[in-house]
Amino acid sequence: MDVPPPIAPHSTRFMDQVRGLIRQRGLAYQTEKTYVFWIKRFIRFHNRRHPRLMAAAEVEAFLSHLALQANASVATQRVALNALIFLYREFLQTPLDELQYELSRKPARLPTVFSAEEARAVIELLEGVFKLIALIIYGSGLRINEVLRLRIKDVDFAMQQIVVRNGKGAKDRVTLLPDTLIDSLTLQVESTLHLHRADLAQGFGSVYLPNGLARKYPNASVEPGWQYLFPAPMRSVDPRSGVRRRHHLMARTVQKNFKRAIRQAGIHKPGNSHTFRHSFATRLLEAGYDIRTIQKLLGHADVRTTEIYTHVVRKGGFGVHSPVDAMGSCNP
């Protein structure tokens, strides 16, 4: 799901050409999928008219529709706007004038956060690689796909850091490698390399490489450092290339295990892998770390995204004592 499908050479299809420009600009595949989704939705909204025949008025109408009829959140409306700005400014080379549209009033939801006790309870119910993945998210603040796309070379034991390649926004960043995970990650690397040697002995062992690296470095796909840290248990045929190889674990498999553990822990709040990431940021804020440091560790482009965790901390009390508590024993 995170490997871009090939585009037919010299394709004249509109969306293929849009995809081609997105890839030329080096944007993440998730960004490509998001932009394509919103561009298609914009075209369908206007009865499949070609974007070249539309301009600012049609964009304003669509964005206003998202706010007034579709009840979209501020963040959703902003993503749609970014996709259409890319379409007109970058692809069609016809920048939109200053847009006038109804702004969404639906506020962003506060993130769901595990308490320290809840996080421990869930993690203790996980086993094997699923437990290690949860510990990395909770201990280093990675997104689920960032963990699953880690290559062996991205875990820097000497510098005690994890390098996230091509994260959200197609950016690289560095985050911490917790002391308590060094032994477990060392064993995971050894296990992955053992599996890789077995694949090589059977005539396989080549891994997917992004952005044309396979052409630039023909032997890199079989080198140990490029292997996924969390490989899938079975080899599979890549439907895009027809090559049989071992990809990384699928996110839905990990999420299924997380959901089961959350239920078994008796936690009724909605939770998934991202809840561990939210909890990582909240624990750092509670410990007094600077918001800018947390922003860098999380890979947020805008500090305002990180600041939402300050509301979560305050909602949890932030050291404030309720006047009801001062009344002593007064049970309803």
Tell me, yes or no, if 274 is annotated catalytic.
Answer: yes
Q: Are residues 143 and 45 in the same domain?
A: no
Question: What is the CA 199 to chain-centroid distance, rounded?
Answer: 29
- Residue 143's contacts (CB-CB under 8 Å, 6 or more residues apart) are 137, 167, 168, 273, 274, 277
Residue 328 lies inside a defined structural domain of this protein: no
pLDDT band at 29 (very low <50, low <70, confident <90, very high): confident
Domain that holds residue 69: 14-91
Q: Of these residues, 46, 106, 165, 168, which one is catalytic? A: 168
Q: Are residues 56 and 120 in the same domain?
A: no
Residue 100 lies inside a defined structural domain of this protein: no
Chain segment 266-318, per-residue pLDDT in tens? 999 999 999 999 999 999 998 889 999 999 999 998 888 888 888 777 665 55
Q: Which residue in this structure is represented by tokens 């049970």?
A: 331
Number of domains present in the structure of the chain? 2
pLDDT of 330 higher than 60: no
Tell me, yes or no, if 106 is annotated catalytic.
Answer: no
- Crossing angle of helices 128-140 and 116-124, in 10° steps, is 160
Residue 22 lies inside a defined structural domain of this protein: yes
Beta-bridged to residue 164, according to DSSP, are 173
Task: Return the structure tokens found at 151.
Answer: 């290559």
**pTM given for the model:** 0.79
Q: Of these residues, 41, 46, 274, 296, which one is catalytic? A: 274
Q: Are residues 155 and 252 in the same domain?
A: yes
Residue 208 lies inside a defined structural domain of this protein: yes
State the CATH number of the domain containing residue 116: 1.10.443.10
Residue 213 lies inside a defined structural domain of this protein: yes
Q: Are residues 78 and 142 in the same domain?
A: no
DSSP letter at 106 equals B
Give the span between the Cα atoms of 193 and 236, in whole angstroms. Answer: 18
Q: Are residues 86 and 228 in the same domain?
A: no
Residue 265 lies inside a defined structural domain of this protein: yes
Give the span between the Cα atoms of 287 and 282, in whole angstroms. Answer: 9
Helix (H) or strand (E) run with residue 78 in it? helix 74-85
Cβ contact 139:280 at 8 Å: yes
Tell me, yes or no, if 277 is annotated catalytic.
Answer: yes
Residue 217 lies inside a defined structural domain of this protein: yes
Judging by DSSP bridges, how do beta strands 173-176 and 161-164 pair with one another?
antiparallel
